[in-house]
Amino acid sequence: MTKMIFGRFLPGDSFVHKMDPRAKLLFVFIFIIAVFIANSTWSYAALLVITLLIMLMSKIKLRYLINGLKPVLILMVFTLLLHVFFTKGGALVVDFGWVNIYEEGIRQGIFISVRFLVLVFITSILTLTTSPIAITDGLEILLSPFKKVKLPVHELALMMSIALRFIPTLMDETDKIMKAQMARGSDLTTGPVKDRVKAVVPLLIPLFVSAFKRAEDLATAMEVRGYRGGEGRTRYRLLKWTMRDTLALLALLVMIAILVLLRN
């Protein structure tokens, strides 16, 4: 539980850390579009190479990402197996009577799993290399044109930032409650499924109480400090777009052009 990396920020001095948050958000948005452009073996291989390069540039270890994303990786394996056993088409690869595995099922399973993997890795690198405050500022500036249609841009960016920040906090709180319950003799890891589900109830109740209390304390602290929304607020940290950000986006556009060429 303590290894979960969703919403966590790791300070650093890598190329990705130094990028402007607006550039990183645009990069991730364009990269997500590029993921859905890929439809061949070579294009998905290119996506994996791009993801590996970004990870190396961020100086985040692959082992750290894998350990923190184990629940997501389990879901990815489950998705792979679903496609392998239930997608029909192409040549019959394995025939075990009632279990038939087709070439198209293996192909689709691998492609969907790779797509899911690179999306999770890229978004995780974004949150690991960008502080919640920087993400909020970047989102608000990028969405500022929508203020003309009365969209509460500041409030939306603030809610997303708080949600990201609360994920590791709730994970830590869950770990503390689990250890407290286990110290009192509660068994959360062994026994029949029915008993495990019953044991989770004493865990959920204090977790929800703690979450609501933290939310109330945060709202009170913001009101005491005079927070009244984004109207008229100034910024302590000013974002600065550099040549590094421009080059990163240009490199991504070149990569997308290569992906288009590698399509079937």
pLDDT tens for residues 4-40?
666 677 888 888 888 888 889 888 888 888 888 888 8
pLDDT on residue 261: 82
Tokens of residue 261, six digits: 């060429």
- Polymer length of the chain: 264
Cβ 58 vs Cβ 128: under 8 Å: yes
3-class DSSP state for residue 237? coil
**So what's the pLDDT on residue 187?**
65
Q: How far is the C-alpha of 47 from the C-alpha of 262, rounded, in Å?
A: 11
Q: Where are the domains of the chain?
A: 1-130+238-264
- Reported as type and span, the H/E element at residue 255 is helix 243-262
The tokens describing 91, both together, are: 């040549």
pTM (predicted TM-score):
0.74
What is the tens place of the pLDDT at every residue in 183-235?
777 666 666 666 666 767 777 788 888 888 888 888 888 888 877 766 666 66
* pLDDT at residue 3, rounded to an integer: 57
**Alpha carbon separation from 101 to 75, 98, 130 (Å, rounded):** 20, 10, 43
Average pLDDT, rounded, for the chain: 79
